[in-house]
Chain A
Amino acid sequence: MKIAVGQGSCGIAAGAQKVSDALKKCLEKSGISVGVTGCIGMCWLEPIVDIYDNDNTLHRLVRVSEKDSERIAEAVKTNDFSQVEKLEITDEDNSFLEKQTRIALRNCGIIDPDDINAYVDAGGYSALSKVLNNMSAEDVIEEIKISGLAGRGGAGFPTWFKWNAARQSQGQEKYLICNADEGDPGAFMDRAVIESDPHTLIEGMLIGAFAIGASHAVVYVRAEYPLAIIRLQNAIEQAKKAGFIGENILGSNFSCDFRIKAGAGAFVCGEETALIESLEGNRGMPRLKPPFPAQAGYWHKPSNINNVETFANVAWIISNGGNAFAAMGTPDSKGTKVFALTGKIKRGGLVEIPMGKTLRDVIFDIGGGIRDNKEFKAVQMGGPSGGCIPAHLLDTVIDYKELGKTGAIMGSGGMVVMDESTCMVQMAKFFLDFTAKESCGKCVHCRIGTKRMQEILTRITEGNGKDGDIELLEELCSGIKDGALCGLGQTAPNPVLTTIKYFRNEYEAHINNKKCPAKECRDLLSYEIDSEKCKGCTLCARKCPANAITGQVKSAHIINPSVCIKCGQCAAACKFGAISVK
């Protein structure tokens, strides 16, 4: 009998800690311990309790609350799970996992992240051992080359090429850096990996450090991930004790120290040169490239920077061979990719699938489609640097090139699903608000350009759009793409460009007709009461916070548009469907 409560940040937020505490209390005397796992990636089912019964059959109980703890304890004690049958995951929900192929997430939600033995039992550190005993650095790089692994942080640059460049770079002292400054709104792949399986990252990084000849490894984690920092720090300590980190690792000539640097909250530090500046204690602002970090990076020493998910694939590739990884995917994009599926989706969470599946596979087959029976409208890929992909391109294959053709990008894995009630101008404005705020202020195009774009989008959503604003935005976008210093600025126009490309008519409706087709832009809405349907119940008038509704009892009411603040409370309150919004 084995019990574990999923306790990633997400599970804890849903109440997993309380469930765990309550279970412990109920099982105190029985001598059965309650363990911890990380996040399995099924956000809509949290908190989740996994129980392996005496026959080692898994009972996955979902949406568990403290109140369920006694019944669960009873089931555990008696090994009779019929009494918690209702809590067991349904086949439909379970298909979310079954349809995935997990490599980077292979241990997430399964093993105890705070126990190195759990990782070792799952085959952990065998890849490192294989590398140190049987492989040269060149062999490792060759294996990674065969695998076709590309940078999972967004740019998709071949990992072997970066490693090789850093390896070839002159210099005694080299650095291997992990970029765990996951900042895209709606992205949480990296957090899940660190919180749920920190040793996977450590092992991948150690192999990378060996390959490039680095003796220092640094993980740059955003400070907003406190649990990830705690678990990673704990894992580092354990790995040190076990001899995986430090001098002459596993008796080899390879030595590598390991440390964490917590970021200070700037999104731009996810850009590799800004990350290096921040590591050095400077203001997080991008440096000019060239020189590339492989030539002169951290402390101007050869450095290699990869994202968490990239490293999370490395041990698997070494253990299973590059060919096994390359067997998955498309000619251009190999292996699997993790996505954080969020938004107006039925089943949101972490999805890892082989490249080559379609967006439809992810959103409809795995994610179960749109909530509340609404129409799918678009999906934003790659966060503020990415773009939206509309419904008619749902069959686009997940592949760096194919996604690029749509104007969006693979990105780091953020996938925000939008339905018919999302205004695409608002959506673009949301991301521009974000990039304008997160611009470091160094280069002109990004600092002032994103601000001006944001101002133009704001006036469009407020009904003050001018003829020519779309063209002005397009011109500004192309200027910023060409002129901005780093990736943040160069990609900031993408949400605007793709929404204009696919939803130009929505922009035009805002500008020319002062209407928001999705009925999201408050300044462009007007509420009206249908005098035929209104029964004069006075409910709307009583609900209205602005006293904009007048009328006698049992006679049709009217809304004074000059007073109405368009909060929508009246329409929500009306029992007769008499209030419409236009």
Chain B
Amino acid sequence: MNQIKITINGKVCQCDEGEYILKVAQDNGIEIPNLCNHESVAAYGACGLCTIEIIDDGNGRALPKLMRACATKAMNGYVVSYDTERTNRARKIALELLMSDHDGDCIGPCRLNCPAQTDCQKYLKQIASGDYHGAVETIKDKLPLPASIGRVCPHPCEQNCRRQYVEESLSIAQLKAYAADMDLKSDTFRAIGKPDTGKKVSIIGGGPAGLTAAYFLRLKGHSVTIYDMMPKMGGMLRYGIPAYRLPKDVLDREISEIELHGVEFINNCRIGVDITLDEIKNISDAVIAAPGAWKSMSMRVKGEELNGVIGGIDFLRPISGAETTPDLSGKKVAVCGGGNTAMDACRTAVRCGADKVYVIYRRTRNEMPAEDIEISEAIEEGVEFKFLTNPDEIIGVDGAVSQIKLQVMELGEADASGRRSPVAVEGKFEFLDVDMVIMAIGQTIEPSGFESIEKTKKGTISAEEGTFLTSIEKVFSIGDATNNGASIAIAAIGDANKCADVVDSYLSGEIKPYTAPYVSERRLSDIDFTSKEMSARIKMPVRNAEIRKKDFYEVNLGFEDDRQVRTEAARCLECGCHDYEDCKLIKYANMQEIKPLRFDGVKNTNPIEQKLIAIERNPSKCILCGLCVRICEDVAKKGILGLVGRGFTTVIKPEFNNDDIVSVCKNCKKCFEACPTGALKLI
């Protein structure tokens, strides 16, 4: 064979004359996208991803047609490119078309909807098999506080769990907490960090965001210091959430694990008072500001200055942090707001001995943002909910609260979020005699110490999407203090693990912004699960309301035993694709921005088939690359599979639709190994 030279995307490659260009590229470490090509069978040309342009055919001419690299032979002097505007356009359309007909979930809705992208499906499987350390290893890949978060998270994973189409979602959060508790009891999982890089990162705020960022950056080998204004780390997990939901010893254990990795903690250190942002910046290679949102929002009603009016977080902080309980016996307390902070405040007030606790909420229970279980438990503990009322004025006597005037509301039209918005019923008011008013309608940032950073209109720190960069060089910002303001802990953790990657890339010289990966999602509803056997969700046992309302011990009693936990975890439907990490289709779909939804149309859905010995075939994920057919025929010499039908509804089936023919299968698994997507799965 003649040795010739061709140029692929600027790289000169030596090869045999007549060698296919795709092969030449592969031999030279250049990856031209392809799905239907495999070294063991002849070129096929179906997927259309390996399109190339021949810019110069060796004689100074460009070839007019797009070529397929898998089937175009190298000729001396060829100058080839696989990422011209035209090749990219053709490849983009091919990928968009493929994805428009791809009926599969790359990842389950649990993980997809977890702000931290915790791999729920994987750890549930590990829990189901009793591998708690493995489960914690999986969880800690995304969040370092599983025992704590498992207890307090409003679990978007469960809200989106498809099991609810069968009967009820899985108890994902509590299973996570159980696994983490088991892990903490013995042989606690500890990730192995990378060698020290010599770079120094300072983090302001030791809440869930700061702790998570610290944990991941430390594992990447950076030296990390957290500055926090409170006596102990934990932020809102410690000072906002009462002990009956999250016992402090659990939080302490998990935080100490982070400290064990070598993160330096500096407490009682307030920015702008004990140290300035500038000073921190000057001694660090990067700074992450995660100060949280510690200021209760005003209700803007008359009488807020009266004695006995207090912000929700201000009320909770000393009690949750120090476990000192004020005596509210004989007092009547009104808590304003419908979120989880309001629930924490009202249930804490009950535990402090208050005579009567009201929750003032301007809509109805259906619209309450608080978790339903929190509302139910509060009601069990004797809290009275005043729905469809809104504080109008706090009335005082001698400078102290005596009454609250409530505007009676009714529900009007649905707003942008789909919730029906409350409208005042003109002239209709109610009065409650109260001694204390707790404002729990939301929190915002305390800006002192961060004056030099550019803020949003809401007053939060403005952090760039994707990079988390603020207006100040090398200062990043995450969590409740940024952009849209306070949210749930797992959202802050999600920010933190993404930000850790961004900061790591920044420290290594080139900042790589975070971009959400494109994933394939199925659109399903209960009719898709009618044939699924039911298996009820295991209820978490709780302490009796009459007893628990008198103390701050944990309300949840925990799962009864290991068997119960494993049964619950085994309810997982395993929606996510087993091949997500290795799938070539999704890898290429993420190489350029694709918008398959514009080609939204009918999808081929054919039932999953288990006719081959140990291989399950899912035609809905099949891209008809024909590799299984060709490999079975040409390599395994069996010829079991074939293409059936024509056009859009073409499907791969055992030849002649014959069930017996599959007994020919010798289980060589060569088809499975070659499948570029998750259409084939080992049983």
Contact with B along A414-448 (1 / 0, CB 8 A): 00000000000000000000001111111111011
A15 within 8 A of B: no
Asked whether A482 lies within 8 Å of B66 as measured between CB atoms, the reply is yes
For B97, give its contact among A285, A290, A449 (CB under 8 Å).
A449
Which residue on A lies nearest to B601, using beta carbons?
Answer: A455
Asked whether A445 lies within 8 Å of B648 as measured between CB atoms, the reply is no
Contact with A along B260-291 (1 / 0, CB 8 A): 00000000000000000000000000000000
Asked whether B46 lies within 8 Å of A443 as measured between CB atoms, the reply is yes
Asked whether A485 lies within 8 Å of B45 as measured between CB atoms, the reply is yes
Contact with A along B53-87 (1 / 0, CB 8 A): 00000000000011010110100000000000010
Contact with A along B16-57 (1 / 0, CB 8 A): 000000000000000000000000000111111001000000
Shortest distance from the beta carbon of B475 to any chain A beta carbon, whole Å: 42
Docked pose: A502 CA to B418 CA in angstroms: 45
Shortest distance from the beta carbon of B287 to any chain A beta carbon, whole Å: 45
Docked pose: A472 CA to B595 CA in angstroms: 12
Asked whether A448 lies within 8 Å of B101 as measured between CB atoms, the reply is yes
Q: A447-B650, A451-B648, A455-B601 are in contact. Are A442 and B46 (CB under 8 A)?
A: yes
Docked pose: A447 CA to B650 CA in angstroms: 9
Docked pose: A369 CA to B657 CA in angstroms: 52
Shortest distance from the beta carbon of A458 to any chain B beta carbon, whole Å: 10
Contact with A along B402-435 (1 / 0, CB 8 A): 0000000000000000000000000000000000
B656 within 8 A of A: no
A288 within 8 A of B: yes
A475: chain B residues within 8 A (beta carbon): 93
A442: chain B residues within 8 A (beta carbon): 44-46, 624, 626, 643
B330 within 8 A of A: no
Which residue on A lies nearest to B646, using beta carbons?
Answer: A441
A476 within 8 A of B: yes
B602 within 8 A of A: yes
For B646, give its contact among A439, A472, A480, A484 (CB under 8 Å).
A439
Docked pose: A444 CA to B33 CA in angstroms: 14
Docked pose: A288 CA to B42 CA in angstroms: 10
Interface residues of A in 465-506 (CB under 8 A from B): 472, 475-476, 478-480, 482-485
Which residue on A lies nearest to B44, using beta carbons?
Answer: A288
B300 within 8 A of A: no
Contact with A along B95-130 (1 / 0, CB 8 A): 001101100000000000000000000000000000
Q: A439-B647, A451-B601 are in contact. Are A476 and B93 (CB under 8 A)?
A: yes
B594 within 8 A of A: no
Q: A472-B598, A482-B90 are in contact. Are A441 and B647 (CB under 8 A)?
A: yes
Asked whether B66 lies within 8 Å of A448 as measured between CB atoms, the reply is no
Docked pose: A163 CA to B70 CA in angstroms: 28
Asked whether B98 lies within 8 Å of A436 as measured between CB atoms, the reply is no
A519 within 8 A of B: no
Interface of A is mostly: helix
Shortest distance from the beta carbon of B460 to any chain A beta carbon, whole Å: 36
Docked pose: A372 CA to B283 CA in angstroms: 91
Which residue on A lies nearest to B97, using beta carbons?
Answer: A448
Asked whether B601 lies within 8 Å of A445 as measured between CB atoms, the reply is no
Asked whether A440 lies within 8 Å of B647 as measured between CB atoms, the reply is yes
Interface of B is mostly: mixed
Asked whether B97 lies within 8 Å of A445 as measured between CB atoms, the reply is yes
Which residue on A lies nearest to B72, using beta carbons?
Answer: A290
Q: A436-B647, A444-B97 are in contact. Are A483 and B73 (CB under 8 A)?
A: no
Which residue on A lies nearest to B48, using beta carbons?
Answer: A483
Q: A443-B48, A447-B648, A479-B90 are in contact. Are A288 and B43 (CB under 8 A)?
A: yes
Which residue on B lies nearest to A485, using beta carbons?
Answer: B45
Asked whether B645 lies within 8 Å of A445 as measured between CB atoms, the reply is no
A24 within 8 A of B: no
Shortest distance from the beta carbon of A44 to any chain B beta carbon, whole Å: 35
B68: chain A residues within 8 A (beta carbon): 288
A288: chain B residues within 8 A (beta carbon): 43-45, 68, 70-71
Asked whether B71 lies within 8 Å of A438 as measured between CB atoms, the reply is no
B153 within 8 A of A: no
Asked whether A452 lies within 8 Å of B601 as measured between CB atoms, the reply is yes
Q: A445-B48, A482-B86 are in contact. Are A283 and B642 (CB under 8 A)?
A: yes
For B98, give its contact among A444, A451, A472, A485 (CB under 8 Å).
A444
Docked pose: A483 CA to B98 CA in angstroms: 13
Docked pose: A290 CA to B74 CA in angstroms: 12
B599 within 8 A of A: yes
Docked pose: A101 CA to B45 CA in angstroms: 43
Interface residues of B in 572-613 (CB under 8 A from A): 598-599, 601-602
Docked pose: A539 CA to B98 CA in angstroms: 53
B4 within 8 A of A: no
Asked whether B46 lies within 8 Å of A485 as measured between CB atoms, the reply is yes
Q: A437-B646, A439-B646, A483-B48 are in contact. Are A444 and B86 (CB under 8 A)?
A: no
A409: chain B residues within 8 A (beta carbon): none
Which residue on B lies nearest to A266, using beta carbons?
Answer: B646
B570: chain A residues within 8 A (beta carbon): none
For A443, give its contact among B45, B100, B101, B648 (CB under 8 Å).
B45
Asked whether B643 lies within 8 Å of A441 as measured between CB atoms, the reply is yes
A451: chain B residues within 8 A (beta carbon): 101, 601-602, 647-648
A450 within 8 A of B: yes
Asked whether B46 lies within 8 Å of A439 as measured between CB atoms, the reply is no
Which residue on B lies nearest to A459, using beta carbons?
Answer: B601
Shortest distance from the beta carbon of A214 to any chain B beta carbon, whole Å: 25
Q: A442-B626, A452-B100, A472-B598 are in contact. Are A447 and B647 (CB under 8 A)?
A: yes
Asked whether B89 lies within 8 Å of A441 as measured between CB atoms, the reply is no
B623 within 8 A of A: yes
Shortest distance from the beta carbon of A570 to any chain B beta carbon, whole Å: 35
A448: chain B residues within 8 A (beta carbon): 97-98, 100-101, 599, 648
Shortest distance from the beta carbon of A64 to any chain B beta carbon, whole Å: 42
Docked pose: A441 CA to B100 CA in angstroms: 15
Which residue on B lies nearest to A283, using beta carbons?
Answer: B643
Which residue on A lies nearest to B89, using beta carbons?
Answer: A479
A437: chain B residues within 8 A (beta carbon): 646-647
Asked whether A482 lies within 8 Å of B648 as measured between CB atoms, the reply is no
Chain A interface (Cβ < 8 Å from any Cβ of B): 266, 283, 285, 288, 290, 436-445, 447-452, 455, 472, 475-476, 478-480, 482-485
Contacts A285-B643, A479-B93, A483-B66 known; list 14 others, CB within 8 Å.
A266-B646, A437-B646, A439-B646, A439-B648, A441-B643, A442-B46, A444-B94, A445-B94, A445-B97, A449-B93, A451-B101, A451-B602, A482-B89, A484-B48
Chain B interface (Cβ < 8 Å from any Cβ of A): 43-48, 51, 65-66, 68, 70-71, 73, 86, 89-90, 92-94, 97-98, 100-101, 598-599, 601-602, 623-624, 626, 642-643, 645-650
The 4 closest A-B pairs by CB, nearest first: A441-B650, A479-B93, A448-B97, A451-B648
6 pairs from A and B in contact (CB 8 Å cutoff): A288-B45, A288-B68, A442-B643, A447-B624, A483-B51, A483-B66
